[in-house]
Amino acid sequence: MRTELCDTFGIEHPIVAFTPSEHVAAAVTNAGGLGVLGCVRFNDAGELDRVLDWMDANTGGRPYGVDIVMPAKIPDEGSSVDLGKLIPPEHREFVDRTLAQLGVPELPGGADEREGVLGWLHSVARSHVEVALKHPIKLIANALGSPPVDVIEQVHQHGVPVAALAGKAEHAVRHVDNGVDIVVAQGYEAGGHTGEIASMVLLPEIADAVGDRVPVLAAGGIGSGRQVAAALALGASGVWTGSIWLTTEEYLQTMAESEAMQRALVEAKSSDTVRTRIYTGKPARLLKTRWTEAWAAPDAPDPLPMPLQNLLVSHAHNRIHAAGDPSVVSMPVGQIVGRMNRVRPVAEIIDELVRDYAAALSRLDKTR
């Protein structure tokens, strides 16, 4: 499973793993892939700095990257208090009523409540870039496409390549024109923010559109070596994986309170996801639960635009998280969830991907 990406990053397998967990990111890097730490959960850049210190101490000089969330259109700046004034009261009432109906209790008195995620405000995402560039990172990826050109130039001055997600060929070309070094082709089946074109069609389309200018990573539907083989056959130089790391032992080391979420994912089938705007305001694929079903009911309001929708639901997410009910989880995940059937160590997944990839190539050999 060697491609030019292995030489670019000095990695053994062209497997890039996006994860909000530093324990997962470090484990992927240590197993020969490229761990990419999602920064959006760090409202405080100092906290990110400390976590990256931990990454440096626990990866022995092996390569890793970070992922920021910087929309192409700059949203209004401001604290969650200012922005909160833009949320209609009917939306707040719907959320309160729904949580009560779903049996999600109030947070215990004095519980430490995180502020709504501000990571996709430009000021915060820029602070993530500043902090990350002080560490020996090997990649900065932007989950929402091309970052502003000045950010790309800033990152390049540190000799770090920039990756950007694309759900259409024309977006991929625009990213490359802006200076992006790696395109992540994110298919319909992917978890989180995603478009409508499936990987089987999108991947060769983007590979053809960008040609030899930059390598393409396949995102969406990758959870086995067969799928890695399919992605490389379609023109990718590697894979961008996310969902499959949610049901790892290492994930729990970072997010100890995620057992209900893991239980829900382990039980879910590939048909148990839904693409909806209720998480951030932009279409994103989530696990289908009683929470997403409530938002799909006829009486539910339309989701708000980014970043208001996440501010609206962030308190609900905290309550849902604390409740620990697998049937009311709010979690981005791809259709590959149907293959995530037990909680495992990261190294076991990497090992299986590599062995299954070799088996897929052997099967293809027999077709000659």
Q: Identify the burial level of 76 via C-beta atoms within 10 angstroms of its C-beta, where 0-12 means exposed, 13-18 middle and 19 or more buried.
A: exposed
Output 236 or 313, the one with its CB closest to a copy of itself: 236
Output 149 or 233, the one with its CB closest to a copy of itself: 233
| 71 half-sphere exposure, CB direction, 13 A CA radius | 16
Output 73 or 368, the one with its CB closest to a copy of itself: 368
Does the protein bind a copy of itself through residue 241 (CB under 8 A)? Answer: no
Q: Do residues 199 and 189 make contact, with C-beta atoms less than 8 angstroms apart?
A: yes
* Binding range to a copy of itself, per CB under 8 A, among 156-164, 216-224, 253-261, 292-300: 216-224
Figure out which of the listed residues 86, 133, 173, 361 binds a copy of itself, where binding follows CB under 8 A.
Answer: 361
Q: How are beta strands 284-287 and 192-193 bridged, if at all?
A: antiparallel
| DSSP codes of every residue in 86-109 | TS-HHHHHHHHHHHHHTT-PPPPT
Beta-sheet strands, E only, within the chain: 15-19, 34-38, 64-68, 140-142, 162-166, 182-186, 192-193, 216-219, 238-241, 273-276, 284-287
Figure out which of the listed residues 22, 49, 205, 325 binds a copy of itself, where binding follows CB under 8 A.
Answer: 205
Output 192 or 220, the one with its CB closest to a copy of itself: 220
Query: To 10 degrees, what angle do helices 346-365 and 22-30 make?
Result: 50
Rounded-to-integer distance, Cα 339 and Cα 353, Å: 13
Element (H, E) at 56: helix 45-58
Does the protein bind a copy of itself through residue 243 (CB under 8 A)? Answer: no
The amino acid that residue 15 corresponds to is I
Q: Identify the burial level of 147 via C-beta atoms within 10 angstroms of its C-beta, where 0-12 means exposed, 13-18 middle and 19 or more buried.
A: buried
Output 91 or 288, the one with its CB closest to a copy of itself: 288
What residues between 263 and 292 interact with a copy of itself by CB under 8 A?
Answer: 270-271
Figure out which of the listed residues 19, 199, 262, 292 binds a copy of itself, where binding follows CB under 8 A.
Answer: 199
Figure out which of the listed residues 49, 181, 189, 250 binds a copy of itself, where binding follows CB under 8 A.
Answer: 189
Nearest partner of 223 among 326, 329, 357, judged by Cα: 357
Residue 166 beta carbon to a copy of itself: minimum distance, rounded to whole angstroms: 12
Residue 115 beta carbon to a copy of itself: minimum distance, rounded to whole angstroms: 35
Sequence-ordered list of residues with C-beta below 8 angstroms from that of 299, at least 6 positions apart, any chain? 94
Q: Do residues 282 and 271 make contact, with C-beta atoms less than 8 angstroms apart?
A: no
Figure out which of the listed residues 37, 66, 172, 234 binds a copy of itself, where binding follows CB under 8 A.
Answer: 234
What residues between 320 and 359 interact with a copy of itself by CB under 8 A?
Answer: 334-336, 338-339
Output 161 or 187, the one with its CB closest to a copy of itself: 187
Does the protein bind a copy of itself through residue 201 (CB under 8 A)? Answer: yes
Output 207 or 331, the one with its CB closest to a copy of itself: 207
Which x/- pattern, by CB under 8 A, does the window 288-327 give for a copy of itself? ----------------------------------------
Please tell me what DSSP assigns to residue 279.
T
Rounded-to-integer distance, Cα 144 and Cα 73, Å: 10
Residue 307 beta carbon to a copy of itself: minimum distance, rounded to whole angstroms: 26
Residue 48 beta carbon to a copy of itself: minimum distance, rounded to whole angstroms: 33
Figure out which of the listed residues 154, 186, 227, 309 binds a copy of itself, where binding follows CB under 8 A.
Answer: 227
Rounded-to-integer distance, Cα 120 and Cα 139, Å: 18
Could you list the residues that contact a copy of itself (CB under 8 A)?
1-3, 168-169, 187-189, 195-202, 204-205, 220-222, 224, 226-227, 229-235, 270-271, 334-336, 338-339, 360-361, 363-364, 366-368
